[in-house]
């Protein structure tokens, strides 16, 4: 996978460096502005001062990226447990990605490494759901639980998207682990999973074109770029494996 360049180490968790590329700042700004100017005013009404929405937007943005780091950290810790070296976690314009130095040693290792991320997102989603329901039942102000409500939805959305069988997403890696287990050949499993990944990526790009046709400019461009990135990542992972086996 081609990863972002000009990365800066922000901090370390359990010895795993968490890095960010400059493109990540664009995503932070985009999310923060969208939450402060659109999401929270719609959820809470427009009666609160502007600084309240900006504060909630900042907390929610940081909470989302903290959830994303936990997702990727679980991948890294399981990978390290199975003997795969970990270079770190990189935050960039599409979220985050784990940088692993090598392929998993076995199909079961890949399977558990792949499901660790979505499983952590589901666990976080359940935590935020519980907080939201309890705080709402106790009559607490929406200013308290609105962020938890958003993080519940975002964590489950993160788990659902990553579970798509589109290599190199987590679901695609689960698919590759199953194919690897059946064929006992990592190259064959990678080739099939990569082709499935390019199929899903092409579908995203087609959805982007359809959205542009419907005048949904931002959504259309997002799907187009995301589909292009997934397609490039799938083919890049296949080429990288071929180079390692030479």
pLDDT for 36-61, tens place per residue?
Answer: 998 999 988 878 889 999 999 999 99
Show the beta-strand stretches assigned E in the chain.
8-13, 16-20, 85-92, 95-101
Would you list the DSSP string of 29-59?
HHHHHHIIIIIHHHHH-TTS-HHHHHHHHHH
Instruction: List the structure tokens of 24.
Output: 């990540």
Q: What's the pLDDT tens digit per position in 114-153?
A: 999 999 999 999 999 999 999 999 989 888 899 999 999 9
**pLDDT, averaged across the chain:** 88
Q: Which of 7, 72, 103, 110 is catalytic?
A: 72
Single pTM value for the model? 0.88
Tell me whether residue 7 is one of the annotated catalytic residues: no
Place of tokens 């890049």: 236
Measured at the CA of 10, the angle between CA 6 and CA 11, to 5 degrees, comes to 140
Q: Return d(Cα 166, Cα 201) in angstroms, integer.
A: 8
List CB contacts of 128: < 8 A, sequence separation 6 or more: 148, 149, 151, 152, 155
Q: Retrieve residue 233's tokens.
A: 């990542």
The pLDDT value recorded for residue 30 is 87
Helix (H, G, I), strand (E, B) or coil at 79: helix
Q: Are 229 and 241 contacting, i.e. CB atoms less than 8 angstroms apart? A: no
Q: Which residue ranges make up each domain of the chain?
A: 1-162, 164-246
- Name the pLDDT band for 179 (thresholds 50, 70, 90): very high
């Amino acid at each position: 996978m081609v990863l972002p360049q000009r990365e800066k180490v922000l901090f370390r968790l359990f010895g795993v460096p968490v890095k960010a590329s400059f493109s990540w700042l664009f995503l932070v700004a985009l999310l923060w502005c969208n939450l402060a100017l659109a999401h929270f005013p719609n959820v809470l009404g427009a009666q609160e001062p502007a600084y309240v929405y900006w504060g909630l937007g900042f907390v929610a943005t940081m909470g989302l990226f903290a959830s994303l780091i936990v997702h990727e950290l679980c991948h890294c810790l399981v990978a390290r447990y199975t003997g795969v070296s970990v270079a770190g976690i990189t935050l960039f314009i599409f979220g985050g990605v784990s940088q692993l130095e090598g392929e998993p040693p076995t199909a079961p290792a890949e399977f558990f490494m792949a499901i660790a991320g979505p499983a952590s997102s589901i666990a976080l989603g359940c935590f935020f759901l519980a907080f939201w329901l309890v705080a709402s039942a106790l009559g607490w102000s929406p200013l308290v639980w609105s962020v938890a409500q958003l993080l519940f939805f975002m964590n489950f959305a993160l788990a659902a998207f990553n579970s798509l069988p589109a290599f190199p997403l987590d679901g695609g890696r689960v698919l590759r682990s199953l194919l690897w287990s059946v064929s006992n050949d990592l190259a064959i499993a990678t080739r099939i999973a990569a082709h499935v990944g390019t199929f899903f990526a092409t579908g995203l790009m087609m959805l982007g074109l359809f959205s542009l046709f419907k005048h949904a400019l931002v959504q259309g461009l997002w799907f187009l770029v995301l589909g292009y990135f997934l397609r490039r990542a799938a083919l890049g992972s296949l080429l990288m494996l071929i180079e390692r086996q030479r």
